[in-house]
Each structure stands twice: as C-alpha cells, then as structure tokens.
Amino acid sequence: MTAGPADAPLHRLGALAVRDRIASGAVTAEAAARHFLDRIAARDGAIRAFLQVDGEGALRAAAEIDARRARGEPPRALEGVPVALKDNLHADGLRTTCGSRILEGFVAPRDATVTARLRAAGAVIVGKTNLDEFAMGSSTENSAFGPTRNPWDPARVPGGSSGGSAAAVAAGLVPLAFGSDTGGSIRQPAALCGVVGLKPTYGRVSRSGLVAFGSSLDQVGPVARTVRDAAAALHAIAGRDPLDATSLGVDPPAPEAAAVSVAGLRIGVVREHLEHASLEPGVKAAVGRALEALRAAGAETREVSLPHSGEGIAVYYLVATSEASSNLARYDGVKYGLRAGADGDLASLVEETRDRGFGAEVKRRILLGTFALSAGYADAYYGRALRVRRLIARDFERAFKTVDAVVGPTSPTTAFPVGAKAADPLAMYLCDVFSVPAPLAGIPAISVPCGRDGAGLPVGFQVQAPALREDLAFRVAAAVEAACGEPDRLPEAFA
C-alpha cells in the first residue's frame, strides 16, 4: 500500500510515495528535505523525538540528489527520502550519544554500513533520534537527554528503545526512520506509535556502526508508515558486509513481495500469547479483528504452541545483560567520551567515569550481566539461559513445520502513561514478553498497526516468520494493513 493520495501533503506520505514524487520531478529533493526539516523545527518540541538535526547536511545531500536528476541519472530506491537514525547508529561527522552522558561529545568517525547503504540508495539523513540509554528500555524514558513523548498522546510513552524513531515517523516528521531491535526495541515502539517496525533475521543487516548492546540479538531495521516502505528499506540496507562477520550473504526479498496475497497461507496463533494474563482486552480485541481479516483474505489460522516462550523474558534478560556487561566495558574514560576521576589512580578514573556516565538502568543491567557471567554462577545463569534459548528456537522450528508464520500481539498493552513503570523495572521488562522470543531465535518479526483500543491508542500486530523469510512476514503484515491499517492518518496535533 502506498500512503496518501496524489495531492496529500508530503508529511502524510510514506517513504516510497515521497520518493516517487521526487523521482517524477513533482517536488525537488531539496524542497522535500526543507518540508520535513521545517516540520521538525516546528513540532518536535512537543514530543522530543530528535536529539540532533543536521539541516545543513540534509540540504547539501538533497541538492546533490537534485543535481543528479538534472544530469539525467536514474532515480534510486530511496531517492531523496528524508530519513532519521536512532542515535546508536553512526553517521559520519555527527554525534552518536546512545542517549548516554558517557558518550557525550563522541563524533562518529565514519558511517555505519546501514547509513552508507542508505546514502547509496539516495536517502537523505536529517538527524538522530532519541532512545533509551544504550537501547536499554521499553519507553524511551531512560535517555540521559530526557524522554520522548507519544504523538498520539504526549502524556504517554512512545515505547522503546527506538521511541524517537517511532514517534518521528508517527508524527510525520520523517517518512522513514531506523532503529535497532534487541528484545523488541523496534517493534514495541512501532506498535505503541501506530507505525510499522521490522526486526530482520539476525545477520540480514550489518551491525557495523551500530553501537552494541546484546551482540547476538541486535539487528537494525526500519520504522515506516507502510509495510511496503519497510520492505523497500530492508532491501536497501540488507546484505553481506565484510565489516560484520555475522552478516549473511543472502539476497533480501524484493519489496514487491509484500503485495503477494495471503490466500492459502497457514498462520499460527500462539495460544500462550492470546491467553497471557498481561494482555489488555483492547489489544486482544484488535488482534482478533486482524485474525478475522486474514481469514477473510484466504489465509488459514490455526493454534500453535511455543511451550518455552514463557521463559523468554528470563532468558533474554540474562543473555542480553551478559553481553552488554562486556560490550559496555570499553567506556572507561581512557579513549573517548566522558572522563571523570582522572586526578586519582586508574581505578578512580574507571569507576568515576562509569558512575557519572551511566544511568541507573544501564548500571542495573551491567551488574546483572556481570553477575550472570561470574565464576560459580555462569553455568546456573548464563549457561542455562543459552540452553533454554536453544529450546525457544526449537519451538519456532517445530511450529514452522506446520505454519508459514506465527502471529499475535506485539505488546500486551497500548502506550502507557509517562512514569507509570519507571520505578518498577520488572513491570517494564514484561513489556517485551511477546517480542523477545524472535530475537532469541534469530528470526524476523514485524509489527504492523491493526487498529486501536477503546482509548483510541494504536495496537500492534506481530508477524514472525522463519529465518530469512521476511517475504512471508511482509505478506501477512500487508494483509492486516490493508484491512485494519490507516497509514496516512496522523495524530491531530501533527496533521
């Protein structure tokens, strides 16, 4: 689906619709960039999705694109599309803060591979979006630079950790943004903000230039207004990268895959998820309507069981924190970023830098992960988590023998009020209950809007597919979008 009629303003359009207008000459890349930069300047104050806006760089890139067009060069996949990056992805010469004091002042020495590929596809980088510090959180309240608000209700959170990217797309400040997903950090904010969010298969997209959180889980993916935009974005960024040894050399699906009908597909509904105690009735109802729509489109739905998915949160918070405790050891005040305690000895340099530089949630996870890997405990915690992780992956393998995709709610709730869970880490962690199994299994998962709850807040529908079968996830998500989505709708305050 392409968002927006021909005469709609640019900010109601999806990425491909913006691209088509630029490619056809209806609007210049520079005018498109100015339009979105003006919107950010005028409206971001209400939600604070952006940490950094690079107007000068964006206009320079847009002018170059217009010059290309003048020279008669053919338009590329994302020609002129203004794009925002979560602030844990490097863009050469821009700051990468990860929402943390400890990286204050750190300027990326080069583009992330994703960023370079986006530029090569014609995208225009307009800025960096807010996130939970080091992508650790589910509400974007853990940013050292203040929280981002949900454009549908600024009293509520946008979800997280890619809350800035999701809020920016939902508010029409950019037609396309990128986030990172470790346990749901793209899909959950996409669900809470009413936009599409894709976590690709592990290895589909290079992690080079993405600041690591949980290295065996992290994947970069798009936040978009439509499923087809997400598919086009994946196509632009996917593929083998010599700078990331875990990246895979398998071609991504063509964006057109999203247009193939779901008729005849077998779709598994996870019993454990639809009966989960934390599932809000409004979410359950919207997901039920989406399932109804899939059946109406010719798909067959059947129950599947993921018996170990109940252990997902425990496993995730051991694996991700263990890896994070190691990944975040490099922030020691020696080489870059914040330096504190330099008057004392080595221990005081490291301790004071990390004490002042990291926020409470990051410290909590470093401590958790350090403990889980410690001698005498590693087997009971980290080792057992790895074993159960394999069981979770096997649950999916078994399910995919009988169904083409496994679906359910992305998040048990819609957007919750700012501060509601800030003091209760465990409640916050449970936001990820449906989203952690896919990264633990390394499989792709997409969240697509499937309507609203009683309060008018967006509900996300999650489609999980076998490894490297994003095409199946796109087809199912596109069918839900066609029946239940409203991709050209903007929150009233951002119309």
Based on the shown chain and the rule CB under 8 A, indicate whether residue 112 belongs to the binding site for another protein: yes
The residue range among 65-73, 274-282, 293-301, 327-335 that interacts with another protein, by the rule CB under 8 A, is 327-335
Structure tokens belonging to residue 113:
């591979």
The one-letter amino acid code at 141 reads E
Instruction: Say whether the peptide bond before residue 206 is cis (omega within 30 degrees of 0).
Output: no
Core vs surface per residue 353-376: b (16+ CB within 10 A) or e: bbeebbbebbeebbebbbbbbeee
- Closer by beta carbon to another protein, 189 or else 209: 209
Q: For another protein, give the closer residue by CB, 159 or 164.
A: 164
Regarding 121 and contact with another protein (CB under 8 A), the answer is no
Which CB, 106 or 316, lies closer to another protein?
Answer: 106
- Residue 226 neighbours by CB under 8 Å, 6+ apart: 1, 2, 3, 14, 15, 16, 196, 481, 487
Candidate ranges 32-40, 164-172, 208-216, 298-306; the one touching another protein (CB under 8 A): 208-216
Q: How far apart are CA 488 and CA 259, in angstroms?
A: 18
Q: Considering the rule CB under 8 A, would residue 155 count as an interface residue with another protein?
A: no
Q: Which of 141, 229, 280, 332 binds another protein (CB under 8 A)?
A: 332
Say how many C-beta atoms besides its own lie within 10 A of residue 109's C-beta.
Answer: 11
- Candidate list 301, 326, 348, 384; residue touching another protein; CB under 8 A: 326
Only segment of 18-26, 124-132, 250-258, 329-337 that touches another protein (CB under 8 A):
329-337
- Least Å distance, CB 354 to another protein, is 10
| Amino acid making up residue 460 | G
Which of these is catalytic: 165, 185, 325, 411? 185
H or E element in which residue 462 lies: strand 458-464
- Token output for 202: 């592990």
Write down the catalytic residue from 100, 143, 161, 162: 161
* Tokens 């359910």 belong to residue: 408
What is the residue-wise DSSP string for 282-307? HHHHHHHHHHHHHHHTT-EEEEE--T
98 three-class SS? coil
Q: How far is the CB of 447 from another protein (least distance, A)?
A: 25
Which of positions 350-389 make contact with another protein (CB under 8 A)?
Answer: 350, 370, 373-375, 378, 382
Tokens 């950010």 — which residue? 40
Of these, 131, 211, 233, 324, which contacts another protein (CB under 8 A)? 211
In three-state secondary structure terms, 180 is: strand
Annotated active-site residue 161? The verdict is yes
In whole angstroms, what is the distance from residue 228 CA to residue 236 CA?
Answer: 12
1 binds another protein (CB under 8 A): no
- Closest approach, Cβ 370 to another protein, in A, equals 7
Should residue 63 be labelled a site residue for another protein when binding is judged by CB under 8 A? no
Percentages of the chain per state (helix, strand, coil), in multiples of 5: 45, 15, 40
Name which of residues 282 to 301 contact another protein (CB under 8 A): none
Alpha helices in 183-280 (DSSP H): 187-193, 227-237, 271-274
DSSP string, 55-71: HHHHHHHHHHHHHHHHT
Which of 242, 249, 264, 281 binds another protein (CB under 8 A)? It is 242
Per-residue mark of binding to another protein, 81-110 (x: CB under 8 A): --------xx-----x-x----x--x-xxx
Alpha helix (H) ranges present in 333-463?
346-357, 360-373, 384-399, 425-429, 437-441
Give 218 or 229: the residue with its C-beta nearer to another protein.
Answer: 218
261 is catalytic: no
Min dist CB 89 to another protein, Å, is: 8
Compute the Cα dihedral for 108, 109, 113, 114 and give only its sign: positive
Nearer to another protein, 295 or 330 (CB): 330
User: Can you give the C-alpha Rg of the chain in angstroms?
Assistant: 21
Q: How far is the CB of 314 from another protein (least distance, A)?
A: 17
Q: Does 322 bind another protein (CB under 8 A)?
A: yes
Active-site residue identified among 86, 199, 284, 421: 86
Which one of 66-74, 205-213, 446-454, 463-471 is the stretch in contact with another protein (CB under 8 A)?
Answer: 205-213
Coil, strand or helix at 445: strand
The Cα 244–Cα 209 span in angstroms is 9
Q: Which stretch binds another protein (CB under 8 A): 154-162, 229-237, 255-263, 326-334?
A: 326-334
Residues that bind another protein (CB under 8 A): 89-90, 96, 98, 103, 106, 108-110, 112, 207-212, 215-216, 242-246, 322-323, 325-326, 328-332, 334-336, 346, 350, 370, 373-375, 378, 382
Positions annotated as catalytic residues are 86, 161, 185
